[in-house]
Amino acid sequence: MRVLRRLLDGIVGTACCLLLAAMVAVLAWQVFSRYALNDPSTFSEEILRFGLVWLSLLGAAYSTGRGTHMAVTLLRDFSAPGLRRVLDMAVPAGFLIFGIVVMGMGGLRAMEIASGQTTAVLQLPMSAIYAALPVSGFCISLYALLNFADLLLQRRERPGEVEAALNWGD
């Protein structure tokens, strides 16, 4: 399971880094073409918009795997250890359901609806943009299964707030 987690972290993390680097390059070109060439780029805004969609959804999947997603822990913090463990198990179960039903199935439906549409400037199929939903849903579901297995095997605790903040780059 550790090998699968490392592989998934590598793929998703690398995709996020490459996407961010490409977005910075496109943004630099947009600023340069607007102010230095006085001829604004027509394609850059659309690339940045769709890149942000993909980066946000892949980043959400990555943070699910790391256990650093946003959480309200008031109930967990004041619970007895037995209930705390049940609540800790409910989190990956909820992510699994969300990843499969909302992101996966809903994303596939959105791709189907948008299959005949293209983007205004680049003429890309909109289904390629909406593909971020099921791809991210698959990654979230896989991470949820890995997190659930780690909790069952007691190999991983959910990170505390300070630990999550300090170890975000590991």
DSSP string, 115-152: TT-B-TTT--BHHHHHTHHHHHHHHHHHHHHHHHHHHH
With cut-offs at 50, 70 and 90, classify the pLDDT of residue 2: confident
pLDDT(142) > 80: yes
pLDDT for residue 124: 94
pLDDT for residue 77: 84
Question: Once rounded to an integer, what is the mean pLDDT over residues 135-160?
Answer: 85
pLDDT for residue 137: 97
With cut-offs at 50, 70 and 90, classify the pLDDT of residue 46: very high
Range of the domain at 100: 2-166
pLDDT for residue 81: 86
Question: Once rounded to an integer, what is the mean pLDDT over residues 104-111?
Answer: 96
Total domains in the chain come to 1
Q: At what angle do helices 81-97 and 132-152 cross, to 10 degrees?
A: 150
With cut-offs at 50, 70 and 90, classify the pLDDT of residue 163: low
pLDDT for residue 121: 92
pLDDT for residue 170: 54
32: alpha, beta or left? (left if phi > 0; alpha if psi -120 to 50): alpha
pLDDT for residue 76: 83
Mean pLDDT of the chain: 90
